[in-house]
Copies of this chain bind each other. A is one copy, B any other.
């Protein structure tokens, strides 16, 4: 199955596109940015033809009054015209031999008005007769960096392993940007709106077979082919990890999906059973989805629930413990050998030699040199532990690696908890730590948390950069980290073979 080309492959490789309803205004409108500038900047290799009855030019491109007037072949058409003119456009598409039409146009079944529901039926019938496949209506379309398709100028040019199907255009952008900001990349993302033709089943099937996709992410508001969905989802989840965000998981949310994408959302219990049975991973927000994608793509899979948490601050350690315990991640006491080893490494014993370890030896050392050596104070902030020499971190990590039954390590950094305001010194002290811990062989995650101020946020961005450079998995809140690691551990302990099959460790 993986060797032959997936059925919808041509969708992502049109030789040419036309966009109906763009403005010939010389300064362009934002739709020109969306459907002309975005694919051109992404390197779309073929011609893109703007269509508008007014004719004229948009920058260096001639605007054709109708699709008929376009000189060459057109594989893919984007419709930005009012809904009631779309049947006429479809007629022209049929004559021109167009293979796919994507409707940015809204105002169909999602309005709930009978004539608009009929209109949607009409275009589906027309398309079936002509052998044209429809995407949408009421959708943003396709982002496929490798083939140059795109609808937002700020989406990354580099492709990646995530295949996203998303019933909401706005959420597509938000998911792509959220993941991109964290260093994650997409093979393709498809915003498919009302799903009048191409639907979640088709797309799940495509991504299951797509060799460029190693993880499938889905935002789905509803489904019409229940039995097919179960089959397709089972096969998808058996082939690669599938993360599902079901929009409309409350009674009110279900009603809202009807007016958004004319979806029949179905009972949440049915969805939950469907997702569980397939062994897909369910999330309840875009933030959770981003965190779970981060865990799946960047973190080694924990074999169990025993974690060691290492970070500065007693309060932060209490909070971390609660968040981790809350999702079932345990912080077992340090074994005698680990404790003895650490006592040799670290001068002052006591409370910090418990799990969570309330100290960050090599982060603290830079500050402690200027504090405790002068005052001798047992500072509650930084100077409790000073690791000797440069080998400190290596030895420390070695002790964790030798800890029998330890499944993972979390290194957490608070930004706005010290009494002196966060500054670039934080990034400067965090960086060497990140550099050292990347060689840890245990499943590992970095958590940046307690970020409240603008300065804290700016500095955390620098440390995020470092994590991305080293390929370290990182999270921007302890709760987000805990939930994502819970999902990953649940997945990796329930389906250990699926983690191996997806070849994530090679990422």
Please give the residue numbers on chain A whose beta carbons come within 8 Å of chain B beta carbons, in ascending order. Answer: 21-23, 25, 29-31, 33-34, 38, 52, 80-83, 104-107, 110-113, 116, 138-140, 151-154, 167-171, 173-174, 177-178, 180-181, 193, 219, 221, 247-253, 255-257, 259-261, 284-287, 290, 313-319, 321-326, 330-331, 349-352, 354, 356, 358, 367, 370-371, 374-381, 384, 414, 416-421, 450, 452-454, 456-457, 461, 477, 479
Contacts and interface: CB of A to CB of B under 8 A. Distances in A.
Contact of A170 (B33, B322, B351, B417): B417
Q: Which of A139, A152, A351, A370 has the most CB of B within 10 A?
A: A351
A81 B314 contact: no
Nearest to A331: B252
Given A31-B371, A325-B251, A104 B377 contact: yes
A169 B256 contact: no
Given A173-B416, A173-B418, A371-B29, A322 B21 contact: no
Nearest to A454: B461
B260 A317 contact: yes
B377 A31 contact: yes
A375 B151 CA distance: 18
Given A374-B25, A374-B29, A171 B315 contact: yes
14 contacts: A21-B375, A21-B376, A25-B374, A80-B375, A82-B378, A105-B378, A111-B351, A168-B316, A170-B381, A171-B319, A174-B315, A248-B318, A249-B322, A252-B331
A314 B170 contact: yes
Nearest to A112: B351
Chain multiplicity (copies): 2
Q: Which of A34, A358, A370, A380 has the most CB of B within 10 A?
A: A380
A354 B262 CA distance: 13
Nearest to A450: B174
B80 A154 contact: no
A376 B322 contact: no
A318 B265 CA distance: 11
B105 A377 contact: yes
Contacts of A318: 168, 221, 247-248, 253, 256-257, 260
Nearest to A329: B252
A502 to B, nearest CB: 25
A107 B350 contact: yes
Contact of A34 (B259, B370, B378, B419): B419
B22 A375 contact: yes
A413 to B, nearest CB: 12
Nearest to A54: B374
Contact of A420 (B30, B171, B284, B315): B30
Given A174-B414, A174-B450, A249-B326, 8 more contacts: A105-B377, A112-B350, A113-B349, A173-B418, A249-B322, A259-B358, A260-B314, A285-B323
A151 B377 CA distance: 17
Contact of A169 (B80, B286, B315): B315
A52 B257 CA distance: 68
Given A113-B350, A259-B354, A417 B317 contact: no
Nearest to A111: B350
B286 A450 contact: yes
B421 A104 contact: no
B420 A351 contact: no
A10 B219 CA distance: 58
Contacts of A323: 285
Given A314-B260, A351-B260, A416 B178 contact: yes
Contacts of A152: 419-421
Contacts of A29: 370-371, 374-375
A322 B248 contact: yes
Contacts of A322: 247-250, 252-253, 256, 284
Nearest to A380: B106
For the complex of A and B, the 4 pairs showing the least CB-CB separation, nearest first, are A168-B315, A250-B325, A170-B417, A260-B314
A27 to B, nearest CB: 9
